[in-house]
Amino acid sequence: MVLEIRNLSKSFGGLKVIDGLSFGVQAGERLALIGPNGAGKTTVFNLITGVYPADSGSVLLDGHDITRLASRYRIRRGLARTFQNIRLMPHLTVVENVMIAQYARTPGVAAMLQPVGLGRANRWRQEARAALADAGLEAYADEVAGSLPYGVQKRIELVRALLAAPRVLLLDEPAAGLNPAETEALHQALEAIAARGVTLVVVEHDMHFVGRLCPRVVVLNFGQKIAECPTGEIHTDRRVREAYLGAEDYAA
Amino acid sequence: MSGYLESVLVLLAINTILAYAAFLPMVAGQLNLGVAAFVAIGAYSAGYLSNTFSVHPVPGAFAALAMAGFVGWLVAFPILRTRGIYLALATFALNQVVQGAILNMDAVGGASGYPIPEHIGFAVVATFAVGVLALVVLLFHTRFGISVTAVSDDERVADLMGLSVRGLQSAAFTAGAALAGLAGALYAHHFNYVEPQNYGVLFSIYVVLYVLLGGTQTVWGPLLGAAVFTLLPELLRGSAAWRYVIFACLIIAIMALRPQGVVVRKAWFSR
């Protein structure tokens, strides 16, 4: 198993946000993490990436316990993510934004002092430009990120995560706010990423999107796992129906 | 070169170094109101080495740079635990502490000031300034340049992207302190006299204004800010007593019209 969550719990104040959660992800798998709003999906990502420390339980990457590992070291071990509310650096250009993630591959003082800005010939800058071109974003490469439309920023975030060369990619609502054409393009992009062997864990409300991308789902409600099954079977699960009842047309 | 022109150009060179001393921590998101403390440390270190051990001003300037950088590195750890306005206040307090300490140090003249006879001319000061400018421009073409901006834009995400937020912040603070120390050493050896009263918080605020006025988004902003702050009061000399009033009004006008600084990043502008 490439990623494993064991009996993870987290409380904020008196509120138990994640309660004894366990699940595992096989290498190369595409797993969806779904559940109603407030179920704790983003918190799971935040615990896996070390935004908050877990109260109890453990997170294992490639069988190594990373529960107490400082957050900045986790991406260096191949665990990258995107954010539900886009988090690009507003004062950097698009190409610089995605170049940030490259550091995770060659961390250290020498890499920090490596010239990356003089001319376009630099290897790292070229790689970043090529990755942007692959995503159809080359036109924006030299724009300042803060001024770009939402859909474009979302695609840039994905390119940034990829430049860390992750083995596990956590995507927090990648399709939210995208129109059908953009959603389709995102689906294609993620299929291509998965085809390269990258493991995907996706938090997403668009069940049609989830159904096409992820064969398996883990369903959360109030911080607990209420179901873990093939995506096609969730609408028959009584507890899932109860959790969603009246809230969303999950069977779409 | 006339004496007047030379002293204006020397001030321009020193102010340029000072602007980068304030710029480095500022791009990492730290408002350092203690620049003058590091300038004083540099000035007095260089002076003491020169007067007591007859150290040549050039190695003395490097020693002053190292000394101020070392003190900066030492205080970076406790000071960078604070955030925002509290960080500014902590550096403000540091300024008071250093100024107060020097006032009470009889070995370097205390309140009566400290003469440093060994003189360096415009050429040496200018060479250092050009060197600093070149180094800072180079530095901002490395991964460090992108990374410190990332840290000030979004610490949380910078951390999750694998950057050492604390390391980058303390590096920027330390490098800024070192440059301030160098500026202090050059000032001490050119003007041959320093006194602690000069290194108050007002001095630090002036330097921060250079940077804010020039703009923090590119590496060229501080250079422009230092040039404006050094040369404009000279150009306004014709209006004698009113020149600082006119100068202050111009500064307020620029800040109102262009709060992000004069030099900003454009799509076509790559630093």
Instruction: Encode pLDDT of B136-189 as tens digits.
Output: 999 999 999 999 999 999 999 999 999 999 999 999 999 999 999 999 999 999
Q: B164 to chain A: which residues are within 8 Å by CB?
A: 72
- Identify which of B36, B22, B141, B6 has the alpha carbon closest to the alpha carbon of residue B97: B36
**Structure tokens, A248:** 């969303």
d(CA B86, CA A32): 43
d(CA B98, CA B64): 15
Instruction: Encode pLDDT of B209-266 as tens digits.
Output: 989 989 888 899 999 999 998 998 888 877 777 877 888 888 888 888 887 888 887 5
Confirm or reject contact between A139 and chain B (CB < 8 A).
Answer: no
Interface test with B, best of A89, A124, A125, A140 (most B CBs within 10 A): A89
The pLDDT, as a whole number, for residue B216 is 87
d(CA A206, CA A249): 10
Segment A12-22 shows an average pLDDT of 94
The domain ranges of chain A are 1-78+166-252, 91-163
Q: State the pLDDT confidence band at B268, using cuts at 50, 70 and 90.
A: very low
- Identify which of A91, A113, A107 has the alpha carbon closest to the alpha carbon of residue B145: A113
Instruction: Encode pLDDT of B32-56 as tens digits.
Output: 999 999 999 999 999 999 999 999 9
Consecutive H or E run containing A24: strand A15-25
Instruction: Encode pLDDT of B182-219 as tens digits.
Output: 999 999 999 999 999 999 999 999 999 989 989 888 89
d(CA B84, CA B101): 26
- In terms of Cβ atoms closer than 10 Å to its own Cβ (0-12, 13-18, 19+), residue A58 is middle
Query: Is A235's pLDDT higher than 90?
Result: no
CA of B142 vs chain A CAs: smallest distance (Å): 4
CB B24 within 8 A of CB B179: yes
CB contact set of A160 (below 8 Å; sequence gap of 6+): A82, A88, A97, A98, A100, A101, B161
Instruction: Encode pLDDT of A186-208 as tens digits.
Output: 999 999 999 999 999 999 999 99
Q: A91 to chain B: which residues are within 8 Å by CB?
A: 149, 152-153, 217, 265
Consecutive H or E run containing A32: strand A30-34
The domain ranges of chain B are 3-199
The pLDDT, as a whole number, for residue A238 is 82
* Facing residue for B143 by CB, picked from A111, A142, A143: A111
Confirm or reject contact between A242 and chain B (CB < 8 A).
Answer: no
For the domain with range A1-78+166-252, which CATH number is right: 3.40.190.10, 3.40.50.1820, 3.40.50.300, 2.20.25.90?
A: 3.40.50.300
The pLDDT, as a whole number, for residue A28 is 95
CB neighbours (10 Å) of residue A119?
9
CB neighbours (10 Å) of residue B16?
26
Residue of B nearest to A162 (CA): B161
- The pTM of this model reads 0.90
The pLDDT, as a whole number, for residue B258 is 83
Buried b (16+ CB within 10 A) or exposed e, B141-151: bbbbbbbbbbb
CA–CA distances in Å: residue A58 to residues A17, A22, A41, B74: 16, 9, 16, 36
The pLDDT, as a whole number, for residue A60 is 97
Segment B109-120 shows an average pLDDT of 93
Tokens 């330390």 sit on residue? B174
The pLDDT, as a whole number, for residue B242 is 80
Contact check, Cβ <8 Å, B142/A49: no
The pLDDT, as a whole number, for residue B266 is 59
Percent of chain A with pLDDT over 90: 81
The pLDDT, as a whole number, for residue B99 is 95
What ipTM describes this predicted complex? Answer: 0.91
**Structure tokens, A182:** 């953009």
The pLDDT, as a whole number, for residue B267 is 39
Determine the length of chain A: 252
Q: E strands along chain B, which residues? A: 114-115, 193-194
Query: Is A247's pLDDT higher than 60?
Result: no
Segment B83-110 shows an average pLDDT of 93
Instruction: Encode pLDDT of A59-88 as tens digits.
Output: 999 999 999 999 999 999 999 999 999 899
If phi > 0 it is left, if psi is from -120 to 50 it is alpha, else beta; for residue A221 that is: beta
Buried b (16+ CB within 10 A) or exposed e, A4-41: bbbebbbeeeeebbbbebebebeeebbbbbbbbeebbb
Contact check, Cβ <8 Å, A142/B270: yes
Phi, psi of A103 (to 5 degrees): -60, -30
**Structure tokens, B22:** 């304030």
Q: State the pLDDT confidence band at B22, using cuts at 50, 70 and 90.
A: very high
Segment B66-74 shows an average pLDDT of 97
Tokens 């490098």 sit on residue? B175
The pLDDT, as a whole number, for residue A147 is 86
CB A41 within 8 A of CB A48: no
CB contact set of B7 (below 8 Å; sequence gap of 6+): none
